[in-house]
Amino acid sequence: MKIGILGCAGRMGQMLVRAVLDADGCTVAGGTERPGSDAVGRDLGEVIGCGPLDCVVEADPACLFEIADAVIDFTSPAATILHASLAAETRTALVIGTTGLGPDDEEQVRAAAARTPVVYAPNYSVGVNLLLALTERAAAVLGDDYDIEIVEMHHRHKVDAPSGTALGLGRAAARGRNAALEQVWRKSRDGHTGARPKGEIGFATLRGGDVVGDHTVVFAADGERMELTHKASSRAVFAKGAVRAALWAGGEPPGLYTMRDVLGL
């Protein structure tokens, strides 16, 4: 399978290229960067420091979608919407790891998935996706006698909050309770907030240093507390999972999938 990487010169992009090179059954189709980037026009292998790969970094993503079997996108919401339309036009499998997409953005992703396989997940770590499944199950078993708080911490440069993974954990917990997250969430607290309502799912966001990603789901009741935690020490786990998703998506019909589908959870 020929896999392309959007935003290939960034930290995550470089890890994705290396993950494709290390994986069996696939090759690097190419990579793109924003117009004006120093990486544009250079050999992709030289950009990531692994030696020539005989493919040049392009500024036009349409070129990559024309030659790739699957494309991995960890860029920005505005760029991802453009990439989703290109995937639909070329019937190229698309793996989306971009966070911060709004409801309108997600609707456009769903529209693209009607024409091509799209994997869209808040996190591509196998461990985090197991945590999502465990969170949904625990929420169903424990019920709303247990308060749920989701605590996440990331590096100082992260621009969205709560993280996409934290929101994914919130949705998993809400599904376990047969509730809509948007109707029960509390994204922040400040000042005199009053007592915590029953059934509320709260979020606490921490930022600092170079933390790759820590997530804890707290189930707290009178007399006991249970915590489910995942800590990532390297972005490589996300890259490996995304490549695994791309390899899986290449054999699937059009549709919107998650890592739960990829892993069979």
Phi-psi region at 194: left, alpha or beta (left = phi > 0; alpha = psi -120 to 50): left
Coil, helix or strand for 22?
helix
Q: How many residues does the chain have?
A: 265
Please identify which of the residues 83, 155, 157, 158 carries the catalytic annotation: 158
Helix axes 77-90, 103-113, angle to 10 degrees: 10
* Euclidean distance between CA atoms 44 and 155, whole angstroms: 27
* Residue 240 is among the residues annotated as catalytic for this protein: no
Segments of the chain assigned E as strands: 2-6, 27-32, 70-73, 93-96, 117-120, 147-154, 185-186, 201-207, 213-221, 224-232, 255-257
Degrees to nearest 5, angle at CA 115 with 237 and 100? 45
Catalytic entry in 83, 154, 215, 230: 154
- To the query of whether residue 154 is one of the catalytic residues in this protein, the response is yes
Annotated catalytic sites, by residue?
A: 154, 158
